[in-house]
Every structure is written in structure tokens, then in C-alpha cells.
Structure 1
Amino acid sequence: MNMKNILKKTLILIFLSSFNSAFAADVTIEMLNKSGKEIMVFSNKIVRVDVGDTVFWKAASKGHNVEFIKGGTPEGVTKFKSKMNKDTQFKFEKPGIYAYWCTPHKMMGMIGFVVVGNDKSNLEIIKSIKFVGKSKKLAAELFDQL
């Protein structure tokens, strides 16, 4: 094989591997003290993924964690609560809506939703969660976007 063919095949492999990673569905959400005019916020409040995808939460600022809200996940999903100030991840195996918050900042509106497989069958159950403080108003706004 001549050098030209090797180079051509190498470039094709590089192109194909970058193409696949650019369309990977895994998502990263940052836990932030401030974003624009908002304080105590997740960088994305709603993300949509497919079954089998992973969401990564990056502890970009100190003082945050991720906790699935009790009653805020599809039936059969186990409790999930990360440690403070630590990056974490969760692989979503069941379709539905997952509601989560930062435990110490839930009253300040630090909440988010992951919609898996575009399945919104548990939306009414999610709407029945007793959100507190600013989370209550924000949750109502986010429901309209789901």
C-alpha cells in the first residue's frame, strides 16, 4: 500500500470517528453558582436523551449535587443522589421523565428534568411533586416546555 492510500484511509477514519462522536447523544450539564442573571442553576434545565444514554453532571461550581426527587422518576428507578462537589453520571435505562434538584438549592430553583425516549407518560405524577420556593414557579414554566 502506498503512502497516499494510507493517508487517504487515515483521513477517512478520522472523519468517521469525529462524525460519530459529534452525534453522540450523551449530555453534560454543569452545576453552576451563576449563569447570566440566574444564580444556583443547572446549565440545561431540560435535556432529552434516548434509552441507554448517559447524562454527566459536572461540578463546575462548589456546593452542588444531583438528587432524583422522590416520586419524580419512572416506576422502578432506584434512588440516585450524588455527593457534594463531585462530578457524577447516570445511564438512563427506562423511558420517562426524571425530575432532579440540587439538594441544598432546591428552594432557590435549582431543578432540572431529563426526558428519556420522548416518553412523557409520568408527567402527571411529576406535576404532583411538592416543589418548594422558587422551584415551584420554575417547575410550572418547565412543564410547558416538556
Structure 2
Amino acid sequence: MIKKIIISLCFIFFSFQLSAKTLEIEMLNKLGKEKMVYSVKVAKIDVDDKIIWKSVSKGHNVEFIGMPKGVKKFKTKINKDAEFIFKKKGVYLYQCTPHKAMGMIGLVIVGNDKSNLDKIKKVKLYGKSKKIFKKLLKEL
């Protein structure tokens, strides 16, 4: 009986692990005609999915500046790859700290839950990020 329970629990655990996905986003100095950008501007993922930000070009990082209640601050070191597993549904707004005024921002929508979007809209943005944020909102 115990053997059956252990096998069942292993099956559930591994099934859960297989369903989680990983998305890679590159931090770039240039993409087409755009400068200082993330390769994916709006990521739509599920709970327990992981995003890996790849430091392809030097001088970039990831800093969460708006996220669902209860999510801890997340700020990476410059020039370092980083990853985050999204455990909470909602909208996450992030920026490259050195290039925030140049519009290097991105959004993550987890579980198609936009219940905290009004809070995200109140986050103070700088320079070109204000205009880009308005464009990103249209993609939601």
C-alpha cells in the first residue's frame, strides 16, 4: 500500500514539473531599430513557469518595479543572467535600472490575471518608459 502511495506521489510531482515552462528573454543593446530592449516585451505565462533573462549585451539587469501583493522585490546584478519562477498570478512590471529612462521595460502576465493592473499603472516611470508602457498596455 505504501509503495502505491509513493508511486502516486512521484507521478503527481513529475507531472507537475513537466507542465511548468521556461521562457528566455534576452537583454539587448539593439533589436532591429530599437535600442536598449528586452527581446520579449510582454510575456504571458502560467503560475510556476520560469523566465530566464539572458545577459546577451553588457550593461543590463532586471528590476521588478510593480508586482502582485506579497511578491518580494527582485533586482538582479548588472551583466548577469537571472531567473525567476512565478508563483503568484498577476501583472509584473520590470525595468533595466540603468536604462529605465530609455524605455527598457517589460511586462509579465501570469495566469492571465490582470487584477493588479490598476496598481501597476500607478508605478512611476521615467523618460521614454512612459510612452512604451502605454504601447505595452495595448498588447494586453
The answer for the alignment partner of 1:131 in structure 2 is 125
The answer for the alignment partner of 2:93 in structure 1 is 99
SS across alignment from 2:101 = helix
Measure how far apart 1:25 and its partner are: 2.7
- Structure that is richer in strand per residue: 2
Paired residues in the alignment total: 123
Counterpart amino acid of 1:52?
D
Alignment check: 8 A CA contact 1:26 1:49 kept: no
> In structure 1, how many angstroms separate the alpha carbons of the residues matched to 2:108 and 2:101?
19
> In structure 2, how many angstroms separate the alpha carbons of the residues matched to 1:120 and 1:83?
28
Measure how far apart 1:24 and its partner are: 6.1
2:69 corresponds, among 72, 75, 78, to 75
> 2:35 matched to 1:35?
no
Q: What residue ranges of structure 2 are gaps of 5+ in the alignment?
A: 1-17
> In structure 2, how many angstroms separate the alpha carbons of the residues matched to 1:36 and 1:25?
27
> In structure 2, how many angstroms separate the alpha carbons of the residues matched to 1:58 and 1:52?
19
Runs of 4+ that moved beyond 6 A: none
> In structure 1, how many angstroms separate the alpha carbons of the residues matched to 2:121 and 2:77?
26
The answer for the alignment partner of 1:60 in structure 2 is 56
Q: What residue ranges of structure 1 are gaps of 5+ in the alignment?
A: 1-20
Alignment check: 8 A CA contact 2:20 2:48 kept: no
State the identity as a percent: 60
The answer for the alignment partner of 1:118 in structure 2 is 112
TM (norm. structure 2) is 0.85
TM (norm. structure 1) is 0.82
* C-alpha RMSD of the superposition: 1.3
